[in-house]
Structure 1
């Protein structure tokens, strides 16, 4: 009798950390992260070598954006099990979120070497290459992941995004079509297809996609503001203004949204309202500039706001400064496109034409 009780007690002790670990994972999947952490902590206290629970706790910290704590747990799990490909891939993902892209690549390489059919890790490595602007390497990984899983809609949509960045718009459209066919409610892919249509100046098709994405997600402010921009290009200024108002109601601290609403006000001859929006956009962008003077995208935006507000000298000085600091070709092209869009609405703006020529001359 005593032996049986002792054996049952040992079994209970053996299974307790496993049960706690799985309950913690259930809480994590339910996004009840504090309860998940409590269970993982207890499981790991009972079994300090429980690598799976340690890695799951790391993933929980990742979801809570506690990235340094996540790294500590992934390090510990991998030290216990050097071939734990899932933990290695999740550590790579955490490095990616922290913008430690080279460290992320090293871990993705290691995880994929351990598991060559790890399609999820291959796609995330592709995304890391994309972030580093290594677009051809990104395409190779997306191709590989999609070959492993031809219905991997998320990978197909991200390959399309890479094609878009490379200005291979037709290839991008083919992939977006394929991803959306696989997942008709994939609002992010629908918006990016709309933006591809925008880049091709196929504005009616862009509007249809923006309408579809916003119907799926009425609070999708990114889609709403881009639909407003499309209305601007079509000279439908009242419709544009309605969208910019709606987007700003969702996020009133976006200098880019305020700038776009100012354009709509200017086109509708409401100069006072336009100036109020421009001054606030300038204030917000200057605050961001003071925090990070090397955010060249924000600096180009601030220069554009100065230009539209008729602060011509500060605008030109800032454009020239950013160019002198070696802004990437991609950002320069984007700044040129912003000027092109502005000149579509206001084609006679002399200073905007001059600044566009300045930026274009820097590319030769």
Structure 2
């Protein structure tokens, strides 16, 4: 039954759903079926979409558009072989249908055959003048292959078709960023803004590029233009606040962060930055207030808990610092930054066994910084755990071969374990790499340093040098 143009556009869908509830069979034209199927797919009702496709193909068995929607469902269900077979059937009759190549490319992409997907998308581009969406897909395929130059070219083609395709704009800048071509990004954005001078997104991105180059005045101007273009653009206020912090203009930074709180729901990031600004201004009570608001807003934000922990650490209130870092660890026990802070705080409180466990956890979670190893080893020295020291030092030397600070500590430990042969070997190795550091050796191992054999080794090395 045909519908007049003034009828409710939902009528085909309502009629189809009415048909499903009865034994009646209604006729729909191909376009109505496409509308119904798209509705179900967009709503995540795949089973109903499949039913509509089945009935649609029974009524319109030669409709390539319905078959392509069937392909879409097959791909969604990872039934790639069946989808390819159907696409080949469509291609045999419609060799110039770009959608066939797009769907084939989608299948290849899902199978990590990105090079083949790219070849198919290029064929699709050659078959149509409306190819902005295809260039977007092409750009994503190049990103999968880490070919950022080609990806950038593809996304630029999207922008040529539509200057306000902000997804493409972000992707172009992403490619520039990955290539660390900040100057290229700045030149591109300036050219873009010549054509689209009130694009707040472009001004915002330009400001971020200037931030990367530490050109803070230029960044500030860019964010001001972004705000002028859209005075509700929260991202621009946040970035402007960050720039003002870099310029030590903390009160102005606070004003910008506070604007974001009035424009939308408060964010933990804004609370945190306001707290940091107040702390730098010496407004400690206000800083503490905003740090607490940060973790109240987002209890899982590690930077918030670290800010409170560090706040009390700087005040030398180590007991409170320990309380909050342990609270953070209870929330996320795999956060290496929490354990690193925990180790330092326990060390200040002379809780050496707890510090030992915290440093061990820090390393287990992948923090292999030299200072972490040295701090852990020095804790073990205070505990008199010499065997554990040797084990830990040998681990550290795998990351920092023949590092003098580690070699001196290993030499001293072997002497404490009465292994003079190994002690002498590592002491000579340490002296060879950095003679001046033997002062640290004296401070850490005063008893060993006073040994006659050790003094002779150091004296002989000084004469030889």
TM-score exceeds 0.5: yes
Q: Number of paired residues?
A: 280
Q: Residue 37 of structure 1 contacts residue 57 of structure 1 at CA under 8 Å; is this kept in 2?
A: no
1:208 aligns with 2:323: yes
5+ residue gaps, structure 2 = 1-95, 97-126, 407-435, 444-465
* Partner of residue 238 from structure 1, selected from 324, 329, 353: 353
C-alpha separation in 1, matches of 2:248 and 2:376 = 31
Mark the runs of 5 or more structure 1 residues left unpaired by the alignment. Answer: 6-11, 284-304, 313-364
Matched, 1:56 2:170: yes
2:267 to 135, 152, 163: 152
Contact 1:139 1:162 in 2 (8 A): yes
- The alignment status of 1:180 with 2:304, answered yes or no, reads no
Paired residues of 2:155 and 2:169 also in contact (CA < 8 A): no
Residues 252, 201 of structure 1: alpha-carbon distance in 2 compared, 3 angstrom cutoff: closer
Q: 1:44 to 1:58 in 2, by over 3 A?
A: closer
Deviation, 1:35, is 8.2
Which TM-score applies when normalising by structure 1? 0.63
Partners in 1 of 2:222 and 2:145 — Cα distance?
25
CA deviations on 1:160-202 (whole Å, 9 max, x unpaired) are: 1222333433212211221222222112212212211222333
Q: State whether structure 2 residue 231 is matched by structure 1 residue 116.
A: yes
Give the distance between the partners of 1:221 and 1:133, measured in 2 at CA: 30
Residues 135, 46 of structure 1: alpha-carbon distance in 2 compared, 3 angstrom cutoff: closer
Query: 1:342 aligns to what?
Result: none
Report the TM-score, using the length of structure 2 for normalisation.
0.50
Give the superposition deviation at 1:251: 4.5
C-alpha displacement of 1:231: 0.8
Note the aligned Cα RMSD (angstroms).
4.1
- CA distance, structure 2, for counterparts of residue 281 and residue 172 of structure 1: 41
Instruction: Name whichever of 77-86 and 61-70 sits farther off.
Output: 61-70
> 1:59 Cα shift?
3.0
Q: Call closer, same or farther: CA 1:240–1:107 in 2, change over 3 Å.
A: same
Q: 1:62 to 1:200 in 2, by over 3 A?
A: farther
Rg larger in structure:
2
Which has the bigger relative contact order, CA under 8 A and spacing at least 6? 1
Task: Give per-residue Cα distances to partners, 1:108-167, cap 9 Å, x unaligned.
Answer: 122122222222111111112223333233222222222323512211112112223334
Kept after mapping to 1: 8 A contact 2:257/2:274: yes
Secondary structure of 1:185 counterpart:
coil
Contact kept, 8 Å, 1:160 with 1:171, in 2: the verdict is yes
